[in-house]
Amino acid sequence: MTHISDQPAVRLRGLSAGYARHTVLHDVTADFPRAEVTAVVGPNGSGKSTLLGVLAGVISPAAGAVEISTRRPAFVVQHSAVPAGLPITVWETVAMGRWAHRGPWRRLSTKDKELIGAALERMGVSDLAARRLSSLSGGQRQRALLAQAFAQESDLLLLDEPDAGLDAQSRLDIAAAISHARTNGVTVIHVTHDLDEASRADNCLLLQDGRLTAEGDPHAVLQRR
């Protein structure tokens, strides 16, 4: 008898996807282990962000199948993707993580506020709660965006180059957050150009020209680059 814990959190079967008439991903078949960290690597333009977009549900597949056996994924974009003039505080940013459960217009419950507070504390941004998101450093903004994802209570975390352009301490903070999520049973899929970070993952996918060219043990996969 197969237990759910033995089943992949995400399965891709012959996935092709892209934008308008331009196909970026071609016939990708892969499994993402449950409650483990999968790093997705490859050169620019290889389809890494497109893959995350499909998993997040913001890009529709052109062909193939996507099977996600977890709750609604939490998708964390790069801090640089957040509009500079967005008039929103850190607390409000993290509170948006509860919209998936309550909708954007319903009053937050006591439990919601407790989860928001816990997420702020977990990412070390409680003291920044009243600050405008746009006033923060790149590392602080990225930690706030991760806190938003944790407030969502998803068991599938999608990260698009979360440590890109950050200082060494911020990269360590992000790595610790990923490790903590895995320890708590969250499946993490993250795109990264940091080979050291990719080598610490449990699983690794290598994309080149929109095609999967290697997957499995990170050290073996990274030798194929």
Average pLDDT on 189-218 reads: 95
Average pLDDT on 139-163 reads: 92
CA Rg, the chain, in Å?
Answer: 17
Kindly give, in sequence order, each residue whose CB lies less than 8 Å from that of residue 211, ignoring residues fewer than 6 positions away. 25, 26, 27, 28
pTM equals 0.89
Q: What is the pLDDT of residue 4?
A: 52
Q: What is the pLDDT of residue 42?
A: 95
Average pLDDT on 94-100 reads: 87
Tokens of 26: 């071609």
Cα 224 from Cα 79, distance rounded (Å): 30
Amino acid found at 105: W
Task: Look over the chain and give the mean of its residue pLDDT values, rounded to a whole number.
Answer: 90
DSSP designation for 89:
B
Checking DSSP bridges between strand 211-216 and strand 203-208, what pairing results, if any?
antiparallel
Tokens of 31: 């499994």
Cα 159 from Cα 75, distance rounded (Å): 6
Contact 216, 184 (CB under 8 A): no
Cα 187 from Cα 33, distance rounded (Å): 7
